[in-house]
Amino acid sequence: MDAGTVATFVAAGGASLFMAWAIGAGSSGSTPFAPAVGANAISVMRAGFLVGILGLLGATLQGANVTEAVGRELVVGTTLSPVAAIVALSIAAGLVAVGIFTGYPIATAFTVTGAVVGTGLAMGGGPAWAKYYEILAVWTLTPFVGGGVAYGTAKLLRNEAVTERLAIPALAGVVGAILANVEFVLLGAPGEAESVATSVGSGLLQQAAVTLLAAAVVAGLLAADMRKSEPAGQRHFLLALGGLVAFSAGGSQVGLALGPLLPLFDTASFSIPLVALLFGGGVGLLLGSWTAAPRMIKAISQDYSSLGPRRSIAALIPSFVIAQTAIFLGVPISFNEIIVSAVVGAGASAGSGGVSGGKMGYTVLAWFGSLLGAGVLGYGGYLGVTALL
């Protein structure tokens, strides 16, 4: 391999690592445990430590779908060149870093998608309209579904006629049923992923039985925990949900950092297993979570809404479901959008819930501004760089 090729891979890898760091510091590193921090179930520093570890695991075990989508499905007729990958990742990471240090959570999925599409179009590629419609549908439905489910769940748990010793274990059972059907790389054949239900059960009836068993086991364990102490049971469930969301964040967000690199390996004289790439991206997420996430954890947990344990549980359940749905579909999605909408929905169940309307307005503008800005910068940046080369 000549020196030019080595320099290209080093530059592209560096841009990807910077993007992974920025995502770990801002999106996947700050949002998963923010409701738990807001409910005083865990400290900011401990949350940052745990989310880094869980994000690394999620990236390695679930990151393939979104990575493939970002790398190969956002533009048709061409694939990103090494220069385009460097430009797209540098622009996206720069915008996310600005959000981290100004306290506004820039949506990483918006910036990376915009930058990749912008550079791809500048290379002469065409719009992947079918994928865009799918992405737009998920992005549009997320705040309504996440916020709505969080609002309804919080209302249910606040209802005096509902016994928490029954309601919270029942919700845990739903989470257990979903977890039994979440796909993991290690459970499937090489290059594929399978869930626990499909691995154990050979038919629909057996898979349904495994799902019901998982739901019953999880619900039973939490019910026993709550019989000892309701506050402790709520806290344990809240922390478990934060862990599941952190794991899901790694599986979703690592693709935003690694996806643009995939075309480089299509023409390279050597190959690296995708799992190894995912692990490397996960390490970048971990570093971001450990070094810079506490600032954004504070922003999400305190500035948007002050939630107690019940409303925090209500916010994290739809967040976990939406994240896993996006991973299954291979859709890049912003965890800031997922968590913020769920936090606001749960907070609104108690009236205003401490929700800052001004903060939310600026955040939504930042989301859409980052999408359009990244696209324009990606298009112009690629043309500018190639003109100088």
- For 307, the 3-state DSSP assignment is coil
- Asked if pLDDT for residue 143 goes beyond 50, the answer is yes
Question: Is pLDDT above 70 for 303?
Answer: no
Report pLDDT digits (tens) over 73-103.
Answer: 999 988 888 888 889 988 887 887 777 677 6
Dump the DSSP string for 56-110. HHHHHHH-HHHHHHHHHSSEES----HHHHHHHHHHHHHHHHHHHHHT----HHH
Q: Please state, in angstroms and rounded to a whole number, the distance separating the CA atoms of residues 202 and 271.
A: 34
DSSP string, 204-218: HHHHHHHHHHHHHHH
Domain housing 347: 3-388
Say how many domains are in the chain.
1
Percent of the chain with pLDDT over 90: 32
| Predicted local distance difference test score (pLDDT) of residue 264 | 78
What 3-state DSSP class applies to 254? helix
DSSP 216-235: HHHHHHHHHHHHH-HHHHHH
pLDDT beyond 50 at 304: no
What confidence score (pLDDT) does residue 355 get? Answer: 53
Q: How far is 181 from 184, CA to CA, in rounded Å? A: 9
Note the pLDDT tens digit of each residue in 222-271.
999 999 998 889 889 988 998 999 899 899 989 998 988 888 777 666 67
Between CA 251 and CA 193 the distance in angstroms is 13
What's the pLDDT tens digit per position in 330-376?
Answer: 999 888 788 878 888 887 877 654 555 666 677 677 778 888 989 99
In sequence order, what are the residues at sequence separation of 6 or more whose Cβ sits closer than 8 angstroms to the Cβ of residue 328? 65, 183
Band of the pLDDT at 3, cuts 50, 70, 90? Answer: low
pLDDT category, 163, cuts 50, 70, 90? Answer: confident
Most confident among 2-16, 187-201, 281-295 (mean pLDDT): 281-295
Give which of 157, 182, 159 is closest to 170, Cα–Cα. 157
Which of 160-166's residues contact partners 24+ apart within 8 Å by CB, and which partners? 164/226, 164/230, 164/234, 164/310, 165/223, 165/226, 165/227, 165/230, 166/223
Q: Is 254 in contact with 66 (CB distance < 8 Å)?
A: yes
pLDDT per position as a tens digit, 196-214:
888 887 788 889 999 999 9
Q: Which pTM was predicted?
A: 0.86
Q: Are 119 and 378 in contact (CB under 8 A)?
A: yes
